[in-house]
Structure 1
């Protein structure tokens, strides 16, 4: 961590500010409850895990420009269906599923419980903050607003500069909009590689918010701070 007080903070959005995992799970159940009423709780958890973890890398293909956002989502649910022993959805059913999922998902967007206290502290100290996300800005703007986070005014998406994390350009655009120096700017995210390492490579102070305790299980020493909650970020501001 660089010496000196922090002059700005940038956040990842999904699984850092917004509990997307829970929102996706609630939406999956709402959309598929009748069709998958035979699922046990264990089967639901496995289905949810396959869809959200995206083991086939369809979201990365979207970031690379090889799939549309809708295509990657449908491919993810098709994989979860087939891996769960189901036949999968035909084209019409997949389209209808996506429309219902898209309509219901924003109703479940919620911030993590530790978000508001940290934003309050940053505002109290006069430290500007914003978000840098690996999705398009308009979609993430709507997500933040639905989660009650419209106070996060600065937002950089992959369409803002035509780059995705961990490329330096997207981090540096966030810094530019904050009006801070990279070396005095924290970047806080839930992915140790894309977020923390990527931010460090761009000259920022990367921080991994490890809500699941993966760092402790890993046993490695990381070249950046690891916190388990946003409440711990306050200790990194000085």
Structure 2
């Protein structure tokens, strides 16, 4: 049995992609008033997926948090309008976006039952996020997840995932050995593989069902484990409700000998 569980926040506990999509359509932008439904889908995808990796530039200290937003929306807008996104236009948009986004923060439906299950099992939990502590604390509270008391942000230890120090600080605050601590997140490389490289048990929460590659499926043997092994050896789940079962089932944890 795992002794503790750490979570990523964005698109793991909180549906940030949906929140951003709702906000993009709520913030007035006359230059985009001509967009049809299909155009909005494309526009929102270009912003949320951040193909030019401007958020990574923020993590590297090359852009401020506000600047990475401006760069992302400028890139998305360029596919639909020649209107510039500069100066007071961009500043006003960022202010409106920042005020509107928190109104749409929601936890995924399976998160509340997941935390209830961990509480019932006496398994402590917390969050480790690639954003600053206070911003993510406000996000958790807004999403109804204030009971997550332990939170590590990039300003807590001065590094971002996948630096091992940020995962290890989460385990330290939980009071659990890294090798007995699950780290669950939606990004396979940054969360599952990064945590594993830091000595934790990395679990990929594959909500979209993109697939974990070859590997045995514990449920195929008639077991109760709701998960399977990814190509890199990490447990993969498609529903957060499976996490407490992973925390208590050697049928899944046998993938990682360090926690048997």
Contact 2:202 2:235 in 1 (8 A): yes
The separation in 2 between residues aligned to 1:89 and 1:81, in whole angstroms, is 8
Q: TM-score if structure 2 supplies the norm length?
A: 0.87
Instruction: Point out where structure 2 has 5 or more consecutive residues left out of the alignment.
Output: 215-229, 249-260
Residues 1:200 and 2:196 aligned together: yes
Q: Please state if 1:14 is matched with 2:24.
A: no
Structure 1 counterpart SS, 2:170: helix
Which of 237, 240, 247 is the aligned partner of 1:227? 237
Matched ranges for 1:1-238 at <5 A: 5-32=1-28, 34-215=30-211, 221-238=231-248
Mapped partners of 2:28, 2:196: distance in 1:
41
- Computing the radius of gyration from Cα coordinates, the structure with the larger value is 2
Deviations 1:198-230 (A, max 9, x none): 0000110000001111126x6672310111010
Local SS of the residue matching 1:75? helix
Unpaired runs of at least 5, structure 1: none
Q: What's the offset of the Cα at 1:83? A: 2.2
Query: What do the CA deviations read for 1:60-119 (whole angstroms, capped 9, x no partner)?
Result: 000000100000001100000112243231211000000000000000000000000110
Match of 2:83, SS state, is coil
RMSD, aligned CA = 1.3
> For the residues of structure 2 that align with 1:232 and 1:210, how far apart are their CA atoms?
11
Measure how far apart 1:237 and its partner are.
Answer: 1.2
Deviation of 1:33 after TM superposition, in Å, equals 6.0
**Separation in structure 1 between the aligned mates of residue 56 and residue 66 of structure 2, nearest angstrom:** 13
Distance between the aligned counterparts of 2:11 and 2:132, measured in 1?
Answer: 16
Instruction: State the alpha-carbon separation in 2 of the partners of residues 204 and 88 from structure 1.
Output: 46
Moved over 3 A (4+): 32-35
Q: Secondary structure at the match of 2:32?
A: coil
Count of matched residue positions in the alignment of Structure 1 and Structure 2: 233
TM-score, with length taken from structure 1: 0.95
